[in-house]
Amino acid sequence: MVSSQEREALGSEWVYPCVAPEQLATLRTWMAAAGNCALRGWPALQTLVAGTVLDATALPDHRELLDDICLWRVLTRPDAPPPPAGLPLQIEVSASADPWPAVVTQWLSDEPIRALAVAQLGDGTWLGESLAEAEQGRLRWQTGWPRKGEAGLSLTEALRWPAVAAWTGLQPSHDVVRTLRRDPASWLLVDRADWRRVLHTVLLGPHAANGLQLLADLGAMTVMVPEAVAMAGFHKSCPLHHKDIWSHTLEVVEKCPPRLVVRWSALMHDTGKVLTRTVRNGKVHFFGHEAVGALLMEGVAARLRLPAELRDRVTYVIAHHARANAYLNDWTDSAVRRLVRELGEHLDDVLAFSRSDWTTKRAGRIAEVKGLTAELAGRIPEIIAEAQRVPPLPKGLGTYVLEQTQLQAGPWLGRIQQWLEAECDAGRLEALREPAYYLQAVREKAPEMLAITPGTERQRRS
């Protein structure tokens, strides 16, 4: 399950109904015991079962669409035993008990997307005319694809396709894409809340790159987030070679943990490169693209009416995403401490993104990047713990020792304090006692630390 540290401050941004492997086994056992019970789904749904049951109650509009795509729909006989608790199921009870295959076939005919209209019976067999299409990874409209705006299909319903692609890995056939992209401007007729709903569902999907690419292919992304679409093919307009930042973006989005802040940051982190590219001395540069990308994100947030907190956190990550990426293993503890201090409350967001912001195919570079990010992730908790550690020695101890010994300040005083701290950590001395207690301990256990020879470190006070 998800630890409390991993949950976002916006609420539970995690995608909702994946089924854990042990739950799937429980579900199949119940199906077999219930007789001719049928589970409606598709073979590609098996790619979701390795996830964890997560909560998305903080995003009700997103959850509504996600439930429509991913909930297991079960058809049972009227006398079937109740299903096991704790599973994301939608139960439908058949009004007719026989003949069961015919009942299931009729049930499947109500599914508008044909590749999803398949069912698994309690004995493990699959039913459905579209089973072959589902196995081929293609989506088709059950009764033929109507034109946008015609009866039987609204623009809002058409936006389910990218969400389905992002969650199943299935893709619509070319005729579907060709029909939907005939008039890209028509997507302006869709309510902004529906834009936000589908974008959030797509961004959080296990196959988010599929959904985002489909949104671009349909022309919907051109009106929703044109700043992102501008990256597609941008590398081809430069006389000098640089990486395809659109392909890089899709790969990074899918590698990021499925949290809205992190995946929005991944989608928008390189948008500023389109406006900042320069060529100097035979090299391509994108100076200041982080700040420009953050500015572009503010416009996207206003257009989609994103929550202010989500907007602020995403723009911060975009503006500072290069900060953690600059880490090298020769950084001192002071440099890491400065990074922690500068990023403040945004530290987890920036680190979660930076761990995924690489797309190199070179094995050596991959190992180097993973090693550096793992090292930084390991050093930061140690630095934070050290900063939060309560000093075991009382304030004013150094002044007290100088007054009692009549010695001048010098390196010896720091060595004494380090020794006392080590003794406290080991439990041989009590913490936060009066200064006299610690001076007496030094005199009894380590008197040589007070034997300062005149002329070597500091002269005795006159």
* Cis ω for the linkage preceding 99 (within 30 of 0): yes
Q: What is the pLDDT of residue 462?
A: 40
* Helix H or strand E encompassing 75: strand 72-76
Q: What is the pLDDT of residue 14?
A: 46
Q: What is the pLDDT of residue 363?
A: 76
Which strands form 38-41's sheet, in the order they lie side by side?
Answer: 89-93, 72-76, 38-41, 118-121, 126-127
- Contact between 211 and 205 under an 8 Å Cβ cutoff? The reply is yes
- Mean pLDDT per block of 10 residues along the chain (462 residues) reads 37 51 78 81 54 57 73 84 80 84 86 84 84 83 56 69 87 81 83 90 90 94 95 90 90 90 95 93 90 96 93 93 76 80 84 80 72 76 74 90 90 91 87 92 93 60 42
How far is residue 460's CA from residue 374's CA, in Å, rounded to a whole number?
A: 50
Task: Supply the pTM of this predicted model.
Answer: 0.74
How far is residue 202's CA from residue 62's CA, in Å, rounded to a whole number?
A: 9
How far is residue 116's CA from residue 111's CA, in Å, rounded to a whole number?
A: 7
Q: What is the pLDDT of residue 144?
A: 55
Q: What is the pLDDT of residues 33-86, one digit of tens each?
A: 877 788 887 654 555 544 555 555 566 677 777 777 767 788 888 888 888 887
Identify the structural domains of the chain with CATH numbers, from first to last.
4-139 (3.30.460), 145-224 (1.10.110), 255-389 (no CATH), 397-450 (no CATH)
Q: What is the pLDDT of residue 205?
A: 86
- The alpha helices in 171-207, defined as continuous H runs, are 174-180, 192-203
Q: What is the pLDDT of residue 456?
A: 54
Contacts of 190 (CB under 8 A, 6+ apart): 155, 156, 159
Q: What is the pLDDT of residue 245?
A: 93
- Nearest Cα to 437, choosing from 389, 406, 407, 392? 392
* Helix H or strand E encompassing 211: helix 208-218
